[in-house]
Amino acid sequence: MQSRSPTPAPDDEPRPRVTRTTTFFVVLALASAGGLAWRDGGGELRAALADAAVLLLLVSPVIGAALLLGGYVRALLPHDRVARWLGPGSGWRGYALAMLGGIVTPAGPFAVFPILVALRQAGAGFAVCVVYVTAWATLGAQRVMIWELPFLGFDFVLLRLVASLPLPILAGLLAAAVARRVTR
């Protein structure tokens, strides 16, 4: 069905693109730092770099712990089992399972898209697939822990999660309305 690489790269790019993405960040950092120094002077750039260093020190422990958490979620939750649960899902039970599955699926496109392919092949409808991928994108627990919590804090995370809770079901209902046009 799908193969799991022994050393997963969880980010938004496949392994060979890692260096190119790093280059992108280096160039972006240099360009924005250069722009800031040119417009506001070296003092402002030094203040920005100091703020970035403090932020790095503060978020690193949280990101580190969340990465390990992601490792355990991966160890506890093999892809193929998620695909089996969500199979040709029926009605509200399928929606609920798809939503739950999306929330616990690890961050990064490496898990979610192979599962979606497997779901389609297993006969899952468009609506269930949309519920699953919407729950993963808007409520995915791992991304919340690695990125959102350390950077934006509990209050904001809580506000966004509560506001986003109905989104997967809403998307599923809209998807069900157009599902017949999507099936090939």
Partner 1 sequence: MSFLIAFAFVAGLTALLAVIAGRRTPGAHREAGVAARGYFRSIAPRLPFALVAAECLGRLLPPEVVTAWIGAGTGPLGVLIASGVGAALPGGPMLAFPLAIALLRAGAGPEALVALITAWSLVAVNRTLLFELPLLGSRFTAWRLAVCAPLPIVAGMAAGALMGLGLAH
Which of 18, 41, 81, 90 is in the footprint of partner 1 by CB under 8 A? 18
- Which SS3 state, helix, strand or coil, does residue 106 take? coil
What CA–CA distance (Å, rounded) separates 55 from 57? 5
CA angle 12, 16, 17 (to 5 degrees): 45
- CB of 156: closest distance to partner 1 in angstroms? 6
List binders of partner 1 among 89-148 (CB under 8 A).
Answer: 107, 109, 113-114, 116-117, 120, 126, 129-130, 133-134, 137-138, 143, 145-148
List binders of partner 1 among 37-96 (CB under 8 A).
Answer: 39-40, 44-45, 48-49, 51-52, 55-56, 58-76
The window from 82-90, 91-99, 172-180 that contacts partner 1 (CB under 8 A) reads 172-180
The window from 80-88, 97-105, 158-166 that contacts partner 1 (CB under 8 A) reads 158-166
Compare residues 93 and 181 and give the one whose CB is closer to partner 1: 181
Please classify residue 95 by burial: count the beta carbons closer than 10 Å to its beta carbon, then call 0-12 exposed, 13-18 middle and 19+ buried.
Answer: buried
- Which SS3 state, helix, strand or coil, does residue 94 take? helix
Q: Which residues of 154-176 are buried (b: 16+ CB within 10 A; e: fewer)?
A: eeeeeeeeeeeeebbbebbeebb
Which of 41, 42, 123, 153 is in the footprint of partner 1 by CB under 8 A? 153
